[in-house]
Homo-oligomer: A and B are copies of this chain.
Amino acid sequence: MKTPEEYKESLKKMRPNIYKFGELITDVTTHPATRRCVEGHAKIYEAAHNPEYRDIAVTASHLTGEEISRYLSLIKSADEMIANSRLKRTVFNLTGTCTGGRCVGWTAINAMWAVAHDMDKELGTNYGGRLRDWLTKAQAEDIALAGAMTDPKGNRTLPPSKQDDPDMYLHVVEENNDGIVVRGAKVMIAGVAASNEIFVLPGMRHAESDKDCAVSFVIPRDIKGLTVIEATHPSDRRELEEKGFDIPTETGITQAYLFFEDVFVPRERVFMCKEYRYSLDAVWNFIMPYRSAIGGCVAGQGDVMIGAATLAARANGLSENVFRDTLTRMAINNETTFGMGVAAAAIGKRHASGVWLCNPLLSNVNKVHVASLPYETKVMTQDICGGIGETGCMPSSADLYHEEYGKLVQKYLKAAASGEARARIARLIEWLTVGAGIPGCLHGGGSPGGAKLIIWREIDLNRFVSLAKNLAGLKEEIPSPKK
């Protein structure tokens, strides 16, 4: 398994095709716009070599029996799925934020493993074999694998085939014996800058008229024809600064827009091509474990917020006991999203391909919680910290260290800890709550509105009606009125 250094080395070798602020990034491991993202992902490589985290970060390949990163493993049981939640919580503990250049890819492997199995069985294709071959190699090379699902979507009320511009959904434009050519985009893709390869899969169900969009494959990040533009978030100009701690961490996350201008993908890396009836399965198999384990992510960040809030209280001269009720409520939020993910895993079931499928109802309930509880936790963190953490209400590092008046800044920021320590803590809280550390709680893994729709479809309303009728001794038929 790769060391962090070997991992970074592998990234350095790649063709530069990532841009931000109008400039080409030649080395993602050192450029200020991407290096924190790489450092965050490097912590995963580090963890694999650290006895404290080894158990959770490393597992045995079901293909070779060799030790591999859990992020490249097949999830075959409730326990392995629970390990997914734990791993994500742990990695958020270590990075304070998302390492989306690994978890999306991991989930994509598992989702497509089951779909490939079904297609092969029902259609006589050989996607499963291709996927196995690629995965064996990926595990051996210990690659960092991002995943790409979300299409630009254009007019949200129209299907792909009805869009003014056909490129609003990534689609196959050519297919031959050697492979396929794809055009379009995938947007808001996390951790691309820190990844070696990208696993692409459909973003929604497809009708026959949209079958060109039913496509899944894996590509090197620096493949010909692919251009990557990194998104900008509010505080990322701070990341460009060389000194100070206004960005308080060495870790970070990026989101990218991927433009595919007639990219050729060789056939052995294609796992779905126009089998539109299976697009929904791919999406479904993806979102269940994703919405289950994302509860571990936000819990892991929530743990850091409890720690940061406690530090802030102490630095202000106050015992954490003053905030016992608030800190307890933060913990309740954390354990709720973590726990619901564990539960969705625990009562899941095994797919014929060997992949573990999480319970759809609990996974989606968790997505709804993930879209609300972390926001409460953030507000509570700011509440405990005071105004300086709420809106970053203090001078910059440049001012704190200023030759002339820096001493004054430090003097007046001092409380039960030094002015610098208080400022660092407050910047961390700012970063976690209104800064670069915010993960996509609302829309990462899909919107809460979409999750609610699935919940509505998954509950067995008529069974509940029968229970109520039986209890009330009601014989009369009371149908739902026709429109």
Contacts and interface: CB of A to CB of B under 8 A. Distances in A.
A150 to B, nearest CB: 8
Interface string A330-362: 011001101111111111000000000000011
A173 interface: no
A335 B314 contact: no
B395 A229 contact: yes
A274 interface: no
Nearest to A249: B471
Size class of the A contact interface (CB-based, 8 Å):
35 or more
B481 A421 contact: no
A137 interface: no
B157 A456 contact: no
Given A95-B471, A231-B396, 12 more contacts: A22-B396, A82-B346, A227-B405, A227-B408, A234-B392, A257-B395, A303-B463, A317-B481, A343-B346, A390-B440, A424-B473, A428-B471
A10 interface: no
A395 B452 CA distance: 30
A155 interface: yes
15 contacts: A20-B395, A95-B471, A96-B467, A154-B414, A155-B416, A157-B318, A188-B388, A232-B246, A237-B240, A304-B464, A310-B480, A342-B347, A375-B375, A383-B442, A383-B449
Contact of A155 (B317, B412, B418): B317
A394 B314 contact: no
Interface string A308-325: 101100111111110011
Interface string A132-171: 0000000000000000001011111110000001011000
A327 B154 contact: no
B447 A383 contact: yes
Contact of A474 (B165, B415, B424, B467): B424
B459 A306 contact: yes
Copies of this chain present: 4
Q: A-B pairs with the 7 shortest C-beta distances?
A: A307-B464, A237-B237, A307-B468, A234-B235, A339-B343, A346-B346, A387-B443
A414 B185 CA distance: 12
Interface stretch (A263-271, A281-289, A366-374): A366-374
Interface stretch (A120-128, A194-202, A211-219, A430-438): A430-438
A259 B185 CA distance: 52
Contacts of A455: 328, 331-332, 335
A456 B317 contact: no
A453 B383 CA distance: 15
Contacts of A412: 152, 167-168, 185, 187, 257, 259
A304 B339 contact: no
A167 B94 CA distance: 39
A393 interface: yes
A174 interface: no
